[in-house]
Chain A
Amino acid sequence: MTRMSATRGLCMRTMMELDQSCSVLREYGSEQSLLSKPDGSSTFVQGDTSILAGVYGPAEVKVSKEIYDRATVEVLIQPKMGLPGVRERAREQCVRETCEAALLLTLHPRSSVTVVLQVIHDDGSLLSCCLNAACMALMDAGLPMSHLFCGVTCAISKEGQIIIDPTARQEKECRALLTFAIDSAECNVLISSTTGSFSVQELQQCIAISQKASEQIFQFYRDSVKRRYSKIQ
């Protein structure tokens, strides 16, 4: 029996996006168990960026891809238009390696865990929204994980301001774009994917800001799971 549960993040951007230095995340929300066929599914919405994730696993794996002592993780990212290209492959590699580090793969040898992400709308911060949607879908599927992870994107504007969770327009106008995945156990950096050039101090500042923002997102994960499971009694 699927149970729909929707929770909205309580954080809103109160200032005009383009003018001020934004260290506030856009309004985010998530919905779980919305698809009937996948073992776990979720959507994650950050502002206007929306991703739908489905997880199948642990399931049968092709003999050519099986690993004798761990599960095989596959990630597929489908863009809104066209066929997946080289850019999607690079994103898939990032999401796959994060999932491999977070999941307890040795509990399911010779099986496969498939995460399929569909881009519904892209308005900036795409990779971090993919990571958040993947994490919520893995939680919904009930796969054992050693820690949770979340994605945060920072943009450094031409004047040197750091904007968190940028929109597509802010991403185009910025000088550098940094995406980090933070883990919930020790708040360390799991993934770093950057474009543009920046100094070492800016990197450290972005990491610190992302770690702070990740605390909000992890609190949101906890609240949404608490709200969902408190109804089953």
Chain B
Amino acid sequence: MAAGFKTAEPLEYHRSFLKENCRPDGRELGEFRPTTLNTSSISTADGSALVKIGNTTVICGIKAELTVPPSDAPNRGYIVPNVDLPPLCSSKFRPGPPGEQAQAASQFIADVIESSDLINMEELCIEKSKLCWVLYCDIMCLDYDGNLLDACIIVLLAALKNAQLPEVTINKETDLAEADIQKKKPLKIHRHPVGSSFAVFDDSVILVDPTAEEESLSTALLTVVTDEEDRLCAVHKPGGTSLSGEKLQHCINRAITRNKEIRKLVDKVTESTKTAK
């Protein structure tokens, strides 16, 4: 009977749980789903990671290539993130060119990388105006159950921490680049941005870490990205109903606690891979 009610009146079904201050999957309003992280998932990539937030599964692979730096920034390398939402992850994505959600997510990740100063781009430059690294980060969602942006940020951070780049020297005689595959160095990560997503229900209740159903029934979505110094790297609210100042402050406080939890997780996983080697 509950299954029938859920299909016929999904909004009332969710409201009846919210009255008791909990959600259909048993979580509290401010509780995140269990998050698991795995690195070095793709052996052919220079760095990779897989994250699961509840059922949402996102994988990231990093390929580093050598290229000429752009003429307006000759002493910096660059990172090209791309978020792909294939039809595999959910029935609402059809095959073909990337849809609006995928493109908006790619732009958001590119903005977070730039805003948070994740990597110093000048360290990616090997020789000014001649050679630099470009990191292609391909983020693919394997199972879409809401909260895509948080998962993308975590998986990108973990994959960059996992990435190892060979040392490159330019041969003075032939003027060609030589990569020494035996010597590999990890990237230096300056900041650790972590995102927290919220869904606003009925203009009044704020749910943390919404599932796909909760996202479709919500009246507004908000993602707050903080770094380890409690500075905000992004406050992304792409429309929907309005949010008052104190609710926004409440979300920011929750995001700051979440940052500490995820950082511990990423550090633990990085440590375990190092000791395993």
Q: Residues of A with Cβ closer than 8 Å to B?
A: 86-87, 89-90, 92-98, 100-101, 176, 178, 181, 183, 186, 188-200, 203-204, 207
Q: A-B contact count, CB below 8 Å?
A: 101
B244 and A188 within 8 A (CB): yes
Kindly state the interface size class of chain B when it binds its partner.
35 or more
Determine whether the beta carbon of B242 is less than 8 Å from that of A190.
yes
- Contact status A190-B239, CB under 8 Å: yes
Question: Which of A89, A94, A197 lies in contact with B227, CB distance below 8 A?
Answer: A197
Q: How far is the CB of B85 from chain A (nearest CB, A)?
A: 13
Q: Report the minimum CB–CB distance from B200 to chain A (whole Å).
A: 11
B252 A200 Cβ-Cβ under 8 A: yes
Give the CA-CA distance A71 to B39 in the complex, in Å.
44
Bound-state CA distance A178–B114 (Å) is 14
Asked if B239 contacts A89 (CB within 8 A), the reply is no
**65-87 of chain B: CB within 8 A of chain A:** none
| Contact status A92-B235, CB under 8 Å | no
Minimal beta-carbon separation of B137 from chain A (angstroms): 14
Contact B231 A197, beta carbon cutoff 8 Å:
yes
Q: Is B107 in contact with A191, judged by CB distance below 8 angstroms?
A: no
Instruction: Classify the interface of chain B: helix, strand, loop or mixed.
Output: mixed
- The minimal Cβ–Cβ distance linking A124 to chain B, given in whole angstroms, is 17
Q: Which chain B residues border A101 with CB–CB below 8 Å?
A: 219-220, 239-242
Asked whether, in the complex, the Cβ of A176 is within 8 Å of the Cβ of B115, the reply is: yes
Contact A93 B238 (CB under 8 A): yes
Contact A94 B238 (CB under 8 A): yes
- Interface segment, one of B18-26, B46-54, B98-106: B98-106
Give Cα A188 to B242, complex, Å: 5
A218 to B214, CA, bound (A): 33
Cβ–Cβ contact A196 & B115, under 8 A: yes
Question: A93-B239, A96-B239, A97-B238 are known contacts; what are 11 more A-B pairs with Cβ within 8 Å?
Answer: A89-B107, A90-B103, A90-B108, A190-B237, A190-B241, A191-B237, A194-B115, A194-B232, A194-B235, A196-B114, A199-B231
